[in-house]
């Protein structure tokens, strides 16, 4: 499975960062007995990040939800014809068939004009793509998996599909959630919202046009390989709104000399530019790229260190962090650390890398997309939540003590879209006035 191509470096069950060496890129924790196979799945099972089930090879799955299937990117409504897939421009106005899987096809008998032309023609649908890490893919380990007092007959009922999705929940993530709620998933709960859902809500012609290329452990360097292997888009398709969101692994690893294993500013710049060059060759004109800065992981210590971990037995997060650091398997030694100086220095490096990203966004230009840099939304989402009486730990994944949880995912969407409205309103897709008509004619547009 060529796992060398798939592992960015740093991860946590998404376990802990940086592989042992170039020839053995899995993190150290994967050497523990019985863990290696699970690691290989979590770090890059899934067929180079493409759907495992894909008969026509167009990069979209017809029926399989898991294994990078429809939970990760829109459903292929004709799994035997590679010209038919989400995001495609309609073929012959979609008179005869639905070539872009948005559920809209046929001809208006009164006007003799194809519905695609009539309802979508003046309102170009925009697809949603995220190039990201475990936070983008929405990594989540159900806390009941860890708590002996809560384990029952049904606790591990869905474990196979959870593993097949690499412990990620993209269908509920800030970028590509398409479920209205978490009701279908007993292992996770909280509010749901996503950039895809907002984009689609503004123009129902964009139905099913989402792709989540989030990979646990991804750094900017690994994203160059991931995008070349996993992106399904051609310049003949509709434009994209791209989230470039690699928010921590370039400063997070489990090594004792953690700073030596962070991505340098020079490497970082070169990798980001390489990804942008590749995007330029693949995305349709009039696309947009949002470049998200790195998170400030000091909130993890601040919000969690003296709280109890779900594993029980009085284990605090501080004790857990120490233990993981001792074994050199922490997902982020720099921030999950009782030494304030180390935490601050890690943030300094994250800010340096964010400044490189910001500089690229303001100085480079490409013909097929515009770029905009914005600060990582987690900080602002946390501030708002705390101002309303919430506490930081209520926004963090309890098991790993590291990732934004379901509530934080939904809250970050609000921050991102408020930012878009105030800073780059031209990045926001136009509202299609035909939405009500689309709904009345095509109902749920084939669902998901
Ligand atoms: Ca269509």
Catalogue the active-site residues: 134
Tell me the average pLDDT across 196-208. Answer: 98
The sheet that has 240-245: what strands, in order across it? 210-214, 127-132, 240-245, 287-292, 369-374
State the first-to-last Cα distance of the chain, in angstroms, to the nearest integer.
Answer: 29
Provide the 8-state DSSP code for 309: P
How far apart, in Å, are the Cα atoms of 122 and each of 125, 167, 203, 340?
Answer: 9, 40, 11, 55
Which of 396, 448, 366 has the alpha carbon at shortest distance from 61? Answer: 448
- For residues 187-196, average pLDDT: 97
Do residues 225 and 176 lie in contact, with contact meaning Cβ atoms separated by under 8 Å?
A: no
In this predicted structure, the answer to whether residue 48 has a pLDDT above a threshold of 90 is: no
- What is the CA(74)–ligand 1 centre distance, in A? 13
Report whether pLDDT(351) > 70: yes
Q: Are strands 240-245 and 287-292 parallel, antiparallel or unpaired?
A: parallel
pLDDT, mean of residues 47-54: 88
Distance 108 CA to ligand 1 centre (A): 14
Mean pLDDT calculated for residue range 159-165: 90
What confidence score (pLDDT) does residue 42 get?
A: 66
Q: Is the pTM of this model over 0.95?
A: no
Note the pLDDT of residue 22.
Answer: 42
Rounded to the nearest angstrom, the distance between the alpha carbon of 99 and the centre of ligand 1 is 5
Q: What percent of the chain has pLDDT over 90?
A: 83
Residues 13 and 167: their CA atoms lie apart, in Å, by: 9
Q: What is the pLDDT of residue 13?
A: 41
Instruction: Identify which of 5-9, 161-165, 291-295 has the greatest average pLDDT.
Output: 291-295
DSSP 343-408: HHHHHHHHHHHHHHHHHHHHH---SSEEEEEE--HHHHHHHHHHHTT--GGGGB-TTTS-SB-HHH
Higher pLDDT, 356 or 16: 356
The token pair that represents 194 in the structure block? 């996503």
Say how far apart CA 69 and CA 46 lie, in whole Å.
Answer: 9
**Longest distance between any two alpha carbons in the chain, whole Å:** 73
Residue range 308-331, pLDDT digits in tens: 999 888 999 999 999 999 998 899
Q: Residue 438 C-alpha to ligand 1 middle, in angstroms?
A: 11
Cβ 448 vs Cβ 70: under 8 Å: yes
Whether 125 shows a pLDDT value over 80: the answer reads: yes
Q: What is the mean pLDDT of residues 249-259?
A: 96
Compute the mean pLDDT over every residue in the chain, rounded to the nearest whole number. Answer: 91
CB atoms under 10 Å from CB of 278, counted, come to 15
pLDDT digits (tens, 9 = 90+) for 396-440: 999 999 999 999 999 999 999 999 999 999 999 999 999 999 999
- Top-confidence residue, 5 or 67: 67
The alpha carbon of 285 and the centre of ligand 1 are apart by a number of angstroms equal to 20
pLDDT band at 20 (very low <50, low <70, confident <90, very high): very low
Strands (E), 32-152: 127-132
Instruction: Note the pLDDT tens digit of each residue in 364-380.
Output: 999 999 999 999 999 99
Q: Confidence class of residue 263 from pLDDT cuts 50, 70 and 90?
A: very high
Report the pLDDT value the prediction gives residue 157, as an integer from 0 to 100: 87
| CA 323 to ligand 1 center in whole angstroms | 54
Q: 332, exposed or middle or buried, with CB in 10 Å at 0-12, 13-18, 19+?
A: buried
DSSP, collapsed to helix, strand or coil, labels residue 27 as: strand
The SS3 call for residue 240 is strand
Lowest mean per-residue pLDDT among 65-74, 151-160, 269-278, 419-428 = 151-160
Residue with more model confidence, 38 or 198: 198
Q: Which two tokens stand for residue 428?
A: 């926001």
Answer whether residue 4 shows pLDDT above 60.
no
């Amino acid at each position: 499975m060529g796992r060398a191509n798939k592992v960015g470096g740093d991860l946590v069950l998404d376990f802990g960062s940086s592989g042992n060496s170039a020839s053995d890129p899995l993190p150290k924790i994967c050497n523990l007995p019985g863990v290696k196979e699970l690691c290989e799945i979590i770090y890059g099972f899934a067929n180079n990040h493409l759907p495992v089930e894909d008969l026509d090879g167009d990069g979209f799955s017809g029926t399989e939800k898991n294994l990078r299937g429809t939970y990760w990117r829109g459903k292929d409504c004709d799994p035997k014809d590679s010209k038919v897939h989400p995001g495609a421009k309609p073929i012959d106005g979609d008179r005869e068939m639905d070539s872009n899987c948005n559920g809209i096809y046929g001809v208006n008998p009164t006007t003799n004009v194809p519905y695609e032309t009539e309802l979508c023609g003046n309102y170009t649908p925009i697809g949603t793509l995220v190039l990201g890490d475990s936070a983008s893919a929405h990594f989540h380990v159900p806390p009941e998996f860890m708590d002996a007092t809560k384990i029952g007959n049904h606790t591990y009922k869905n474990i196979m599909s959870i593993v097949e999705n690499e412990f990620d929940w993209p269908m509920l993530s800030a970028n590509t959630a398409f479920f209205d709620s978490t009701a279908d998933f007993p292992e996770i709960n909280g509010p749901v919202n996503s950039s895809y859902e907002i984009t689609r809500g503004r123009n129902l012609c964009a139905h099913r046009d989402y792709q989540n290329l989030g990979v646990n452990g991804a750094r900017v360097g690994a994203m160059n390989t991931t995008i070349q292997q996993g992106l399904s888009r051609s310049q003949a398709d509709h434009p994209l709104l791209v989230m470039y969101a690699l928010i921590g692994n370039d400063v997070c690893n489990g090594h004792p000399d953690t700073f030596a294993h962070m991505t340098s500013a020079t490497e970082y710049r070169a990798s980001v530019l390489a990804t942008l060059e590749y995007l330029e060759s693949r995305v349709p004109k009039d696309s947009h790229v949002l470049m998200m800065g790195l998170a400030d992981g000091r909130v993890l210590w601040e919000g969690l260190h003296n709280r109890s971990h779900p594993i029980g037995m009085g284990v605090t997060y501080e004790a857990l962090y120490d233990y993981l650091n001792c074994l050199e398997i922490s997902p982020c030694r720099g921030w999950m650390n009782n030494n304030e100086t180390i935490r601050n220095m890690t943030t300094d490096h994250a800010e340096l890398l964010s400044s490189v990203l910001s500089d690229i966004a303001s100085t480079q230009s490409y013909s097929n997309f515009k770029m905009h840099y914005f600060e990582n939304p987690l900080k602002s989402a946390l501030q708002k939540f705390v101002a309303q009486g919430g506490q930081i730990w209520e926004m963090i994944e309890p098991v790993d003590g590291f990732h934004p949880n379901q509530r934080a995912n939904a809250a970050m969407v609000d921050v991102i879209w408020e930012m878009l409205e105030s800073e780059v309103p031209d990045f926001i897709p136009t509202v299609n006035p035909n939405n009500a008509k689309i709904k009345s004619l095509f109902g749920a547009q084939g669902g998901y």
